[in-house]
């Protein structure tokens, strides 16, 4: 049977079939076109499927070093894998980015499935691997380091693995840490990272010089979006020099704001550990008259930890995250809701992400653009600020005496060892990274996409940040749990609507949405064709939008279908 793959205009593709050597060609047909393509070598025919998907492939060493030799994968001789029915991942296996679709939708984007391949591009005794951890601490760092070492040594028989001490800066140092399965045996039981870490210190040329001088041919980089940007730059420099070095990134962020992947390691542990702080705040607030507990959790730009910790706790009365603006005074404001909770329950718990309400802080203080070594903007302590504001409100405007306790467990959460769930997850991440590097892939990161480990291009990881979608059902579940208001100022909302220019569409008109943030099209009575204005003055219009394709069409609604306001 001829292999079926997805094709994109002008894209380089690789195809490997049983008994055939690796072949490469440039494709000039679109994925859902009909046609046949013959390769120059081995006469491999590729027939695009009529419902073809887009494969966002990752780079391979053979893209710039086409004559590399291949070797049989040592895993086939590993006793641990003797019980596995199928040792290797098929070369055409892919993972769909989206598993929910509508009839008629294209199959969308796929990623290459992670796992061991039949052929490898490194001899085990010639591998010289290095591991580096960068950025802030996160539960699971030591587990990833341990499983990288054990995967290389125990599965592939690698003898030389070193740790770079102190983040990217460690590449400039002569001192490294020799890593063996014995050295890393128990490190998963500790928090932090045995390799040390730091922010910044990235100089692409010096780092690649160090990699080349030391004879390193596999680089495993564990860090957040800034670190992955650095890893992408390292890959580009290595490619430009034509070095046989695989560069693999393992995404790390406790905030869970990495796009594409299902979640980042350490997130489950962080949510679990945050329960301790929320429980303490609940006990404190419940034990005092008019008690208020305020807990600040991690979440510079995304409120996932605050949202999931709130849902898991069920003791929280109000959750504030960066994605949802709020205001303090006036009807529907935070102060009014606090007064309501104290009147009804006698106590309340507020969870706030560190990045929430920063626009309010900038009004109270002179805003600064100070950044840390990683380029992250330094934020003011919103938990301390909002605690003070609540105290001032009750002392000035009401006769109610409150008892407020503020808890900031940030560094306690970051420093704990990973829980059982994250330990298993870190194992899968590390082993997938090792399989990918040994198979010759480079310039990629690993992570689960819809539950399946995948190889993802660096660009997809660093192009944006994952954020809580406040129109999603998960946020609705939180609002149902806390019973908090939306905190959207109706005055501001009205002003915003007046300022926005909404396109007016006629029947059967098509619209194109340039971005998810542009104002939604509104169909008003004034947009009706003139022949309908007199005959059917009450006619409304409905805009149907296909989210995946960003197009829509306008249809008429019968009077019985008109929305009620």
Which positions are annotated as active-site residues?
Answer: 255
Would you say the C-alpha torsion 169, 172, 177, 178 has a positive or negative sign? positive
Interatomic CA distance for residues 139 and 254, integer angstroms: 8
CB-based contacts of 493, cutoff 8 Å, min separation 6: none
Would you say the C-alpha torsion 431, 437, 440, 443 has a positive or negative sign? positive
Q: How many CB atoms lie within 10 A of CB 8?
A: 18
Answer yes or no: is 93 a known binding residue: no
Question: Strands 37-38 and 45-46, how do they pair?
Answer: antiparallel
Interatomic CA distance for residues 186 and 194, integer angstroms: 11
Tokens representing 253?
């962020």
Pair 139, 191: CB distance under 8 Å: yes
Pair 148, 220: CB distance under 8 Å: yes
| Tokens 């003011």 -> residue | 380
Answer yes or no: is 333 a known binding residue: no
- Tell the burial category of 401 from Cβ atoms under 10 Å away from its Cβ (0-12, 13-18, 19+): exposed
Answer yes or no: is 19 a known binding residue: no
Phi and psi, residue 176, nearest 5°: -130, 170
Q: For 345-392, what is the HEC assignment?
A: HCEEEEEEECCCCHHHHHHHCCCCCCECCCCCECCCCHHHHHHHHHHH
- Can you say how many angstroms the Cα of residue 407 is from the centroid of all Cα atoms in its chain? 27
Answer yes or no: is 413 a known binding residue: yes
R_g of the chain, CA atoms, integer Å: 28
Answer yes or no: is 253 a known binding residue: yes
Answer yes or no: is 226 a known binding residue: yes
Nearest C-alpha neighbor of 453 from the set 236, 231, 197, 248: 248
Pair 195, 176: CB distance under 8 Å: no
Interatomic CA distance for residues 498 and 88, integer angstroms: 59
Answer yes or no: is 223 a known binding residue: no
Answer yes or no: is 412 a known binding residue: yes
Question: Strands 54-56 and 109-113, how do they pair?
Answer: parallel
Answer yes or no: is 350 a known binding residue: no
Answer yes or no: is 169 a known binding residue: no
Answer yes or no: is 451 a known binding residue: no
- Can you say how many angstroms the Cα of residue 419 is from the centroid of all Cα atoms in its chain? 20
Answer yes or no: is 199 a known binding residue: yes
H or E stretch covering 276: helix 267-287
Tokens representing 193?
């990272």
Q: How many CB atoms lie within 10 A of CB 526?
A: 7
CB-based contacts of 427, cutoff 8 Å, min separation 6: 143, 147
Answer yes or no: is 224 a known binding residue: yes
Answer yes or no: is 227 a known binding residue: yes
Answer yes or no: is 414 a known binding residue: yes
Which residues are registered as beta bridge partners of 448? 453
Pair 354, 519: CB distance under 8 Å: no
CB-based contacts of 16, cutoff 8 Å, min separation 6: 22, 23, 91
Answer yes or no: is 310 a known binding residue: no
Answer yes or no: is 254 a known binding residue: yes
Instruction: Tell me the C-alpha to C-alpha distance, in Å, between residue 319 and each of 228, 233, 314, 540.
Output: 30, 38, 11, 37
Pair 278, 351: CB distance under 8 Å: yes
Answer yes or no: is 518 a known binding residue: no
Where is the binding site, in residues?
136, 199-200, 224-227, 253-255, 298-300, 354, 411-414
Where is the binding site for Mg(2+), in residues?
225
Where is the binding site for ATP, in residues?
136, 199-200, 224-227
Where is the binding site for substrate, in residues?
253-255, 298-300, 354, 411-414
């Amino acid at each position: 049977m001829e292999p079926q793959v997805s094709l994109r205009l002008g894209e380089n593709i690789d195809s490997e079939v049983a008994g055939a050597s690796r072949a490469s060609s440039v494709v000039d047909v679109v994925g859902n076109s009909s046609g046949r393509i013959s390769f120059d070598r081995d006469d491999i025919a590729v027939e695009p499927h009529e419902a073809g998907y887009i494969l966002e492939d990752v780079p391979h060493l053979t893209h710039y070093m086409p004559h590399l030799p291949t070797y049989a994968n040592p895993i086939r001789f590993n006793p641990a894998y003797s019980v596995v029915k199928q040792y290797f991942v098929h070369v055409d296996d892919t993972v769909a980015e989206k598993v929910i679709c509508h009839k008629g939708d294209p199959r969308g984007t796929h990623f290459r499935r992670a796992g061991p391949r039949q052929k490898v591009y490194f001899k085990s005794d010639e591998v010289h691997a290095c591991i580096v951890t960068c950025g802030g601490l996160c539960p699971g760092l030591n587990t990833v380091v341990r499983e990288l070492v054990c995967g290389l040594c125990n599965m592939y028989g690698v003898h030389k693995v070193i740790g770079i001490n102190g983040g990217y800066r460690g590449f400039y140092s002569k001192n490294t840490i020799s890593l063996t399965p014995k050295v890393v045996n128990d490190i998963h039981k500790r928090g932090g990272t045995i390799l040390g870490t730091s922010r910044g210190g990235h100089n692409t040329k010096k780092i690649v010089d160090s990699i080349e001088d030391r004879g390193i041919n596999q680089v495993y980089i564990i860090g957040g979006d800034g670190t992955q940007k650095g890893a992408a730059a390292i890959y580009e420099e290595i490619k430009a020099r034509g070095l046989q070095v695989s560069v693999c990134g393992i995404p790390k962020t406790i905030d869970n704001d990495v796009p594409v992947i299902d979640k980042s390691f350490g997130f489950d542990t962080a949510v679990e550990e945050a329960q301790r702080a929320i429980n303490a705040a609940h006990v404190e607030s419940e034990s005092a008259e008019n008690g208020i507990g305020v807990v600040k959790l991690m979440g510079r730009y995304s409120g996932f930890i605050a949202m999931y910790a709130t849902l898991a706790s069920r003791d929280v009365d109000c959750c504030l995250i960066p994605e949802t603006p709020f205001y303090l005074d006036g009807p529907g404001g935070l102060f009014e809701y606090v007064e309501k909770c104290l009147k009804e329950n006698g106590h309340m718990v507020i969870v706030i992400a560190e990045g929430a309400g920063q626009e309010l802080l900038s009004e109270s203080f002179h805003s600064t653009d100070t950044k840390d070594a990683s380029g992250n903007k330094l934020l003011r302590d919103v938990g301390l600020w909002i605690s003070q504001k609540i105290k001032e409100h009750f002392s000035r405007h009401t006769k109610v005496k409150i008892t407020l306790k503020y808890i900031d467990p940030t560094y306690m959460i970051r420093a704990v060892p990973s829980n059982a769930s994250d330990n298993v997850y870190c194992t899968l991440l590390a082993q997938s990274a090792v399989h990918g590097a040994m198979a010759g892939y480079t310039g990629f990161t690993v992570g689960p996409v819809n539950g399946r480990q995948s190889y993802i291009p660096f660009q997809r990881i660093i192009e944006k940040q994952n954020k809580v979608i406040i129109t999603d059902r998960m946020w609705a579940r939180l609002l149902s749990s806390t019973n908090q208001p939306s905190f959207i100022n109706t005055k501001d909302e009205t002003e915003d609507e007046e300022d926005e220019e909404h396109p007016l569409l006629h029947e059967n008109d098509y619209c194109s949405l340039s971005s998810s943030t542009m104002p939604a099209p509104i169909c008003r009575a004034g947009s009706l064709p003139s022949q309908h204005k007199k005959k059917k003055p009450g006619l409304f219009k409905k805009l149907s939008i296909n989210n995946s394709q960003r197009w829509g069409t306008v249809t008429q609604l019968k009077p019985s279908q008109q929305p009620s306001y």
